[in-house]
Structure 1
Amino acid sequence: MNHKMPFETLISVTDLQALLESGTPVLLLDCEFDLAAPEKGRTVHAEGHLPGARYAHLDNDLASAPNGANGRHPLPDRDALAAWLRSLGLRKGQQVIAYDSNGGAWAARAWWLLRWMGHRAVAVLDGGKPAWVADGHDLTSEVPEAVNEGDFAPGDPLVGGIVSAQDVLGNIRAGAAQVLDARDPSRFRGDANPLDPVAGHIPGARNRFFRDNLDGAGRFRSAEELSATFSALLDGKPAVLSCGSGVTACHNALAMEIAGLPGARLYPGSWSEWISDPARPVETGEA
C-alpha cells in the first residue's frame, strides 16, 4: 500500500482496498450521474455501489439551483455544502474518496468542491467503479448505517480561485490567461448539440476534452504526460477552466494538479452561463 497519506489527487483500487481493510475511517462518495436522466445515478447507486458509499447527487448536493443566468450547475453555497458533508459524518482531516463510472467526470467535481472547502484529504478513485469491479471486488446494494454528525468546517480553498463571466469577458481583450474548455471537440467547434442552445466557444479558448486526460483503460495518464500536454496548451499563461456547466472543467483541474500545475481558476458558470447573455461574444471552429 502507498502509505503517503492523505491521498489528495488519485487513489488506486489496491490502495483503497488496503485503506478500507485497515479500518481507517473513509467517507466514500458515489457520484454516479447521467445528464440526460438526472435520477438515473441514484438508481444505479441503489443497485450496486462500493461498500459503505454514500450517494452524491450532482444537481442536488454538488450544485445549487440555477436561475437561468448562472449556468446549469452553479456552485453550492459553502455553508450548505459543509452541513451536507457533516450529515454524512465527515470529520476534520478524514479521508474522502469520490468515484463514478464515467472516468471521474462527476467525481472530479466532488474532489474540487472539497478542496475548495479547504479539505485536503480527498482523492478520486482512479478508474472508478469499473476498475473496482475489474479487480474482483464486490458491489453492494446495502444502505450504509446512519452516522453521527461530523465536525467538518470549511477552511481556505486549496484550489485556484473562481472567475466570473465579467472576468472572462475582460480576459478576451487582455489575453492574460488561457481559457481551456473541457467539452468534446464537436461542441467546442460549434456543431449542433442538444445541450447547447447556442453553439461554439468563448473567443480565444482552447479545447482540452476531459476524456483526453485518461488512457485506454480509463485511468489518468501519467503526471509527465499531463504536464507536457497542459504546458503546451497554456504556453506560459495561467489557466481558466471552463466546460458546459463547471463540472468536467474540474476534471482538467484534477489533471493539472496531478501534473504538478496547481492554481488553475474555475469559471463555474461556463458555457451554459456564457450564452445566457446574447451580448457575450461567441466563436466557432477549431482553436
Structure 2
Amino acid sequence: MEIRLVDCRPAEAYRAGHLPGAVHADPERDLTGTGGGGRHPLPTADAFAAWASGAGVGPDTLVVAYDEGTGWAARLWWLLRHFGHDGAGTIPFSAWRGPLSTADEEVEPTSFVARVRSGDTADAGELLERLDDPRLVVVDARAPERWRGEVEPIDPVAGRIPGARNRFFEDASPLSPELLDAEELVVYCGSGVTACVVLHGLVLAGRDDARLYPGSFSEWHGLGPVERG
C-alpha cells in the first residue's frame, strides 16, 4: 500500500513549507465544484477523478490529508469516500515535528475511477419536507454563537435550520448519545466543509450512515425558514 500525503491548505501555505512528498489539493479549485447550491458545491465526479489521478491516488493508495484546522482535510476525506475510495484519514499539520519542504513534488499519475456513493447526501428539498420528522436529527457544525443566530460573519442571514442541534466541529469531547443513537443524521455547516469534520468523527464512532447537506446554511438561508435563539 502506498501512502499519499495531501496538503489541503491554501497554495501560498503549501509553497511556504509542506510535509516532504505531500501533493497539494487547492481547497477552492480541487475540492469545490462550480455547480450547485452554497458557497462550496461538490466537484463533479469527472473533475475530482482528474485531480485524484494527477495526485497519484490509485485504488490501493492510503491518503493522509492535513490542514490547519479549517476542515478542508476532512472535506477531502469525505470526497474520497463519496467517490468510492475508503482508504483515507486526516491529521493536523501541527502534529508534524519533522522538516518541511518547499519543493515541487513530482508524483506518478494514476487512473482514479470515481464511483459515486449513493445515499450519503441530503438536499434542501428533503430537509424542508422533514422539518417536523422526529426520526431525522439535523446537526449544525458551526460555532455555537452562529448556531444561535447571535452573529453571522459570512452569510447575509443569521440563524440555523429549525430544530438543528449544535455540534461545533472544533469540539473534541465525546459525541453525545443523542447523536449516536439517532435514527437518521444529517450534518451541515456554513458551506459543507467543516461539517465533514463532524461526519469524520461520526464514522469513527460507528455512524457511517450520517449524511452531508452540501449546500449547508449558505444555501438554506435563501430557501427555507431560519430559527434563532
* TM > 0.5: yes
Q: CA deviation at 1:274?
A: 0.4
Counterpart Cα distance in 2 of 1:79 and 1:156: 11
> Is it true that 1:245 corresponds to 2:191 in the alignment?
yes
Q: Is the 8 A contact 2:180 2:202 kept in 1?
A: no
Q: Which has the higher strand share?
A: 2
Shift of 1:254: 0.3
Q: Which amino acid aligns with 1:190?
A: G
- What is residue 110 of structure 2 aligned with on the other side? 150
Secondary structure of 2:130 counterpart: helix
CA shift at 1:192, angstroms?
Answer: 2.6
CA distance in 1, matches of 2:180, 2:218: 23
Does the 8 Å CA contact 2:6/2:25 hold for their aligned counterparts? yes
Counterpart in the other structure of 1:63: 32
Kept after mapping to 1: 8 A contact 2:141/2:187: yes
Size of the aligned set, in residue pairs, is: 229
Tell me which residue corresponds to 1:269.
Answer: 215
Partner of 2:90: 124
Query: Is 1:86 equivalent to 2:53 in the alignment?
Result: yes
Cα deviation, 1:126-183, whole Å, max 9, x if unaligned, reads xx111113xxx111111102x33202211252x8511110011111033331000000
Query: Residue by residue, what CA displacement relative to the aligned partner does 1:218-263 show, whole Å, maximum 9, x if unpaired?
Result: xxx6xxx33xx2x224653311011000111111110001111211
Q: Is the Cα–Cα contact under 8 Å of residues 98 and 107 in structure 1 kept in the other structure?
A: yes
Superposition deviation, residue 66 in structure 1: 5.5
- Structure-1 separation of matches of 2:56 and 2:95: 26
- The match for 2:15 is 46
Identify the residue that residue 19 of structure 1 maps to in structure 2.
none
Deviation at 1:96, TM superposition (A): 0.7
1:43-76 deviations in Å (ceiling 9; x for gaps): 1110110001111111111011266xx1000010
Unaligned runs of 5+ in 2: none
Asked if the contact 1:93–1:120 (Cα under 8 Å) also holds between the matched residues in 2, the reply is no
Whether the aligned pair in 1 keeps the contact of 2:83 and 2:115 (CA below 8 Å) is yes
- For 2:179 and 2:89, the matched residues in 1 are separated by 25
| Mapping of residues 168-179 of structure 1, within 5 Å | 168-179=127-138
RMSD: 1.7
What code does the residue aligned with 2:45 have?
Answer: R
Q: Does 1:209 align with 2:186?
A: no
* Deviation sequence 1:182-236 (CA, Å, 0-9, x none): 0000111101322121000000100000100x3xxxxxx6xxx33xx2x224653
Larger Rg: 1
